């Protein structure tokens, strides 16, 4: 069973070296952010970091950001990473993420990904595609 531990912003420094390699991997397919952006957002309390352990073994993390939408709160999953082949924190711990969303009275949970494979996973988890974003550099 996976235990997701919330990391208090004042304790981020003791956990940062553990999660940063996974964050670097996620960032490659991320949306124009840097690892330092995540550090700052967690350190200032704008985002939350939960680190997953299977017993004493580190298995990954989830970074979430509460956001206010036009119709109320949402919980955005900024980044998730699993370092074990048989563990996907979002799939395995979606019920826990839903509890976090309920705790802030969120109306929805959102996430974004450039990876096409996430569409199939998201649909299996009950997520519906709501928007397709396109961009061009200037």
pLDDT of residue 128: 76
Whether 25 and 53 have beta carbons less than 8 Å apart is answered as no
The whole-model pTM stands at 0.85
Whether 98 and 109 have beta carbons less than 8 Å apart is answered as yes
Q: Is the pLDDT reported for residue 21 higher than 90?
A: yes
pLDDT for 44-82, tens place per residue? 999 999 999 989 999 999 999 999 988 999 999 899 999
Compute the distance between CA of residue 108 and CA of residue 101 in angstroms, rounded to an integer.
Answer: 7
- The larger pLDDT score, comparing residue 7 to residue 131, is at 7
Q: How does 93-109 read in b/e, with b if 16+ C-beta sit within 10 Å?
A: bbebbeebbeeeebebb
């Amino acid at each position: 069973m996976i235990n997701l531990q919330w990391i208090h912003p004042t304790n981020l420094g003791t956990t940062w070296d553990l999660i940063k390699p996974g964050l670097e991997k996620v960032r490659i397919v991320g949306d124009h952010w840097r690892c330092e952006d995540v550090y700052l957002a967690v350190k200032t309390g704008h985002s939350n970091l939960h680190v997953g352990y299977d017993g004493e073994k580190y298995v990954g993390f989830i970074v979430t950001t509460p956001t206010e939408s036009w119709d109320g709160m949402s919980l955005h999953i900024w980044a998730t990473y699993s370092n074990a082949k048989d563990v996907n924190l979002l799939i395995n711990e979606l019920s826990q993420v839903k509890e976090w969303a309920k705790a802030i009275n969120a109306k929805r949970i959102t996430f974004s990904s450039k990876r096409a494979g996430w569409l199939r996973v998201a649909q299996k988890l009950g997520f519906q595609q709501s928007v397709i974003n396109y961009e061009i550099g200037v």
